[in-house]
Amino acid sequence: MKSFDVAIIGSGPAGASAAFELSKSGISTVIIEKETLPRYKTCGGGFVFRGRKNMPFDISSVVEKEFHSIDTYFSKKQPHLTTTRDTPIITMVMRDAFDNLIVEKAKENGVTLLQNHKVLDITFGAISTLHTTEGDIEAKFIIAADGALSPIAKIAGWEETRLIIPALEYEVEVPAADFERLSKNVRFDIDAIPYGYGWCFPKKNHLSIGVAVMIKTNSKINLKEYYATYLKTLGITEIVSEAAHGFVIPVAPRTDNFVRKNVLLVGDAAGLADPLVAEGISNAILSGVLAAQAIIEAKLDSEKVAELYTQKLESTILPEIRTGAKLSHYFYNQKTFRDLVLKKYGQKVGEAMTDLFMGERTYPADYKTTISRKIKEAIF
């Protein structure tokens, strides 16, 4: 039976980045992936600078487009916001090529890739056995980088405590004149759908257009209908080709820990996407790196690995996304309040969000005081 120190399940940005980090340490590592690479992943492919600036190698070979400005539109009552930076705020990638690049870099450093291997079950022990469609594999540690559905978290006994939101993504080819007009800017349309937003992300030859509901709601929201209306907002009347993909994004972290039975949850499996915009690539990468570092620094000692990984998450990603989740509630659920604040501070809010995308600031820890002060200032 093949045996490794670490088995990483999933070759997305979380798993591939964990593998790359481990590959530098000499710890034997395997990536187990159910698909054949490169594989399509439903995603807008907007990679914010916060993530890009920490990439340990050049990614220009997989860059579709780079944008130094972002346009954010609200309902007609609010003026639209534009923010600009010297370095690209958002880099557009197609996830098949992007994820595969990270896997290839890890392979160059000695990581084993087993593709077309779906993990079906695990027998846990000091050394665990992973039962895949292509046979058994042994490993001491398991990094569950298996995405939003995370079958591995279920197998390891986690209950569902993440907030999971629905999203629709279309890869759309439009006539040349429309592409020319729409491919110059990245745009977010906050009121394109209730409790969420729409986006138009230009790629080399097509547009990635989508809609997502960002918070928990009892209202029935037909994403397809809002997508159709959003196309009209974008002025698209003719479609050359269109591929529809629906999926989910976890936008609130698990509340019952991230490690058990030598299994470490990373990326979407842990619920680490940004709750305000559902940007998940950069935290997937960061959490993969943190999990790998915990294993390396703890020298494969189980208790220490669990303690270190939890500490690392608590001092980086978790406080951020917990605050982000509360702000997301104000932003999408308290529209009157949001519009009041935007009326007075629209550009400031846009700049602050852009600084977050750039990795130059964090969400304000004292958001409650700031919000109540801003409400008073906006009303009186």
* Total residues belonging to the chain: 380
Contact with ligand FAD (CB under 6 A): which of 6, 7, 8, 10? 10
User: Between 208 and 262, whose beta carbon lies closer to ligand FAD?
Assistant: 208
Q: Is the dihedral of CA 276, 280, 282, 285 positive or negative?
A: positive
Write down the number of H helices and E strands in the chain.
Answer: 12, 18
Annotate 122-169 with DSSP letters as a single string: EE-SSSEEEEETTEEEEEEEEEE--TTT-HHHHHTT----SEEEEEEE
**Part of the chain binding ligand FAD (CB under 6 A), chosen from 5-13, 80-88, 294-302, 369-377:** 5-13
Residues 6 or more apart from 355 whose CB is under 8 A from it?
A: 361
280 touches ligand FAD (CB under 6 A): yes
**Binding span for ligand FAD by CB under 6 A among 11-19, 59-67, 331-339, 353-361:** 11-19
Half-sphere exposure of 240 (CA within 13 A, CB side): 12
Among residues 6, 34, 81, 254, which is the contact residue for ligand FAD, using CB under 6 A?
34
Residues between 71 and 130 with contacts to ligand FAD, criterion CB under 6 A: 118-119
Regarding 64 and contact with ligand FAD (CB under 6 A), the answer is no
Binding-site string for ligand FAD from residue 179 to residue 218, where x marks contact by CB under 6 A and - marks none: -------------------------------x--------
Candidates 40-48, 135-143, 227-235, 331-339; binding stretch for ligand FAD (CB under 6 A): 40-48
Q: Which is nearer to ligand FAD, 169 or 178 (CB)?
A: 169
264: contact with ligand FAD by CB under 6 A: no
* Of positions 8, 21, 29, 45, contacts ligand FAD by CB under 6 A: 45
What single string gives the DSSP state of each residue in 297-347? Answer: HTTT-HHHHHHHHHHHHHTTHHHHHHHHHHHHHHHHH-HHHHHHHHHHHHH
Q: Is 118 exposed, middle or buried (CB count within 10 Å of its CB: 0-12, 13-18, 19+)? A: middle
Nearer to ligand FAD, 88 or 267 (CB): 267
**Rounded-to-integer distance, Cα 23 and Cα 2, Å:** 18
The maximal CA–CA distance of the chain, rounded, in angstroms, is 71
* CA dihedral of residues 31, 37, 41, 43 (deg, nearest 10): 90
Residue with tokens 């954010």: 72
Nearer to ligand FAD by C-beta: 39 or 261?
Answer: 39
Q: How far is the CB of 261 from ligand FAD (least distance, A)?
A: 16
CB of 181 to ligand FAD, least distance (A): 21
308 binds ligand FAD (CB under 6 A): no
Closest to ligand FAD by CB, 42 vs 354, is 42
**Residue 44 or 350 with smaller CB distance to ligand FAD:** 44
Task: Give the bridge partners for 164, in sequence order.
Answer: 250
Nearer to ligand FAD, 279 or 341 (CB): 279
The residues, any chain, with a CB within 8 Å of residue 376's CB and separated by 6 or more, are none
Q: Considering only residues 278, 313, 321, 356, which one is a binding residue for ligand FAD as defined by CB under 6 A?
A: 278
Report the C-alpha gap between 299 and 295 in whole angstroms.
6
* 171 binds ligand FAD, rule: CB under 6 A: no
In DSSP terms, 207 is beta-bridged to 172, 202
First to last CA, the chain: 71
Least separation in angstroms between CB 119 and ligand FAD: 4
Helix axes 367-379, 317-333, angle to 10 degrees: 30
66: contact with ligand FAD by CB under 6 A = no
Closer residue to ligand FAD (CB): 33 or 64: 33
* 21, 64, 146, 178: which one binds ligand FAD (CB under 6 A): 146
Residue ranges that bind ligand FAD, judged by CB under 6 A: 9-15, 32-35, 39, 41-46, 118-119, 145-147, 151, 167, 169, 210, 247, 249, 267-269, 273, 278-281, 284
